[in-house]
Copies of this chain bind each other. A is one copy, B any other.
C-alpha cells in the first residue's frame, strides 16, 4: 500500500500532473477556477499529500535545519530550543535536534549526517565544538549560525550570535555596590571554557570600575552545576575573610551555593548576597528567590533561526555571507541580594 502520488491525482481529476503541481504550489494566476476546484476535490478524495522528499530533490530545499546542543538536559537549552522551534515553525521548517553530549566525535558524526540529509542550515549551540565541523559545513556550502562563546570562532567566517555579558553584570555589580558591598567573590565555570572567562572578566572589570582591586577578589572554579556550587561555597568558608557578595557563573552554581549556606546557617541575603546568571525558571523558585543576570534564552533561539533565514533568503553565492548579532543581558532583582552586613564579616554558625 504505497502513498498516493501526483499522477493518480492528475488522473482522477482528468488533468496533467503539471496542473496538479500548480494548484499545490498556489500558482493560481493562470488556472481556471473550475479546474482548480476539480483538482482540489481529487486531492481531498485521495487524501493526497505531496512528498517533501520528491519536492526537495527538485527544489534543492528541504525546509529542515539541524540544531546541535551540548545536552538538552541542561536547563539552558530547552528554552533556546523553543525559540528556535517557534521561528522555524513560522516558516514551515522542521528541526533535527542533536545532542553532542560534549563529545566532539559525536558532533562530527551529526554534522555529516545533517549534510547528507541536505538540511538548509545548521545551528551550533554546543558549549564547545571543533573547527572540523565548520570546515565540513563550509565545503558543503551549508549556512551555519554559531552561538559564540568559544574562542575558536575568530579567524573563521561564520555567522554568530554573541552574548553581551558585560551589560547585565555591570548592572548587577552596581546594584550590589549600592547596597554597600565592597568584598566580592566569584564562583566561575570550568576555566577552559571561553564563556567562563567572559563572565569572570566582565565581573572583575565591573568591580574594578568601582575602585575595587580585582586581584583581591577570590575566584573559585565551579562546574556550572549545583554540586559545583556547593563545593565552591565549602571552599569559600575556609577563606580568612568571607565576602559579603558572591557572583556565580550561572544559576545552578548559585543554587548550590544557596543550599550550602543554609547547611552552614549563613543567612542569605542578611549575611551574604548571592547573585546568579541565566534566570532559569528554578531561580524564581528557590529560597530565597535568586537575584540573577538574565540571559534571554528564548530570544537567542529565535534570533539564531531568524539569522539563518536571512542567510537563506540571500541568493546563495560562492562566498560566505556573514551576519552577526549581540544579545543583551539584564539584571533581575529577587531576594538573594540585599544590604551588605554592617560591621564584621558574617558570623559562621554550624
Contact = CB atoms under 8 A, between A and B. Distances in A.
Interface of A: 1-3, 47, 49-54, 56-57, 60, 62, 64, 71-73, 75, 78-79, 81-82, 85, 89, 92, 94-99, 106, 109, 112-118, 139-141, 226-227, 255-256, 259, 262-263, 281-282, 285, 287, 316, 318
Contacts of A51: 57, 116, 118
A78 B282 CA distance: 16
Contact of A141 (B1, B98, B281, B316): B1
B281 A259 contact: no
Contact of A94 (B50, B85, B96): B96
Contacts of A78: 71-73, 78
B50 A281 contact: no
Given A73-B79, A285-B226, A287-B259, A49 B99 contact: no
11 contacts: A1-B141, A1-B316, A2-B60, A51-B116, A53-B56, A53-B62, A75-B75, A89-B109, A96-B96, A96-B97, A262-B287
A334 B301 CA distance: 37
B52 A118 contact: yes
Given A56-B53, A57-B54, A139-B47, A72 B73 contact: no
A185 B227 CA distance: 32
Contacts of A56: 53
How many copies of this chain? 2
A123 to B, nearest CB: 13
Contact of A73 (B82, B115, B116, B287): B82
Contact of A49 (B81, B109, B112, B259): B112
A55 to B, nearest CB: 9
Given A89-B106, A259-B287, 8 more contacts: A49-B112, A52-B117, A85-B99, A94-B98, A94-B114, A96-B97, A97-B97, A259-B285
Contacts of A72: 72, 78, 81-82
Can you list the 9 inter-chain pairs with the closest CB atoms, starting with the nearest?
A97-B97, A73-B78, A72-B78, A52-B117, A52-B116, A53-B56, A226-B285, A94-B96, A53-B118
A117 B94 contact: yes
A300 to B, nearest CB: 15
B57 A140 contact: no
A3 B141 contact: yes
Contacts of A109: 89
B99 A97 contact: no
Contacts of A62: 53
A269 to B, nearest CB: 17
Contact of A117 (B64, B141, B263): B64
A206 B348 CA distance: 46
Contacts of A141: 1, 3
